[in-house]
Amino acid sequence: MDNNKNMGMTDRYIRFLLGVGFLLNIIIIEPGFLGLVILLVLGLLMIKSSVTGHCPAYLPFKICTAGRDCPPQAEGKAE
């Protein structure tokens, strides 16, 4: 598995805030079991990807928002 960083700081910050938002919604809206599982998985995945700086969904599209830290195969797609 390729663990090169392909996310820039802005992308990571936004994902972290989204992850925290998903987790806070568990407390705020008190969803049923299915909603709890969905919000928990989404929240934890967002936080994990923001901490590691790697998004597996970016790989097939060769997207990299990490600027000059992009892996060679993704160069040219950076901001």
Tens-digit pLDDT profile for residues 35-59: 999 999 999 999 999 999 988 888 8
- Asked whether 22 and 48 are in contact (CB, 8 A), the reply is no
DSSP 8-state class, residue 66 = S
Residue 79 inside a domain? The answer is no
Structural domain for 15, as ranges: 9-74
What tokens does 37 get?
């599982």
DSSP structure string for 16-56:
HHHHHHHHHHHHHH---HHHHHHHHHHHHHHHHHHHHT--G
Quote the number of domains for the chain: 1
Q: Is residue 35 part of a domain?
A: yes
| 1 found inside a domain | no
Residue 42 inside a domain? The answer is yes
Domain presence at residue 4: no
Q: What percent of the chain has pLDDT over 90?
A: 53
Contact 65, 7 (CB under 8 A): yes
pLDDT of 23:
96
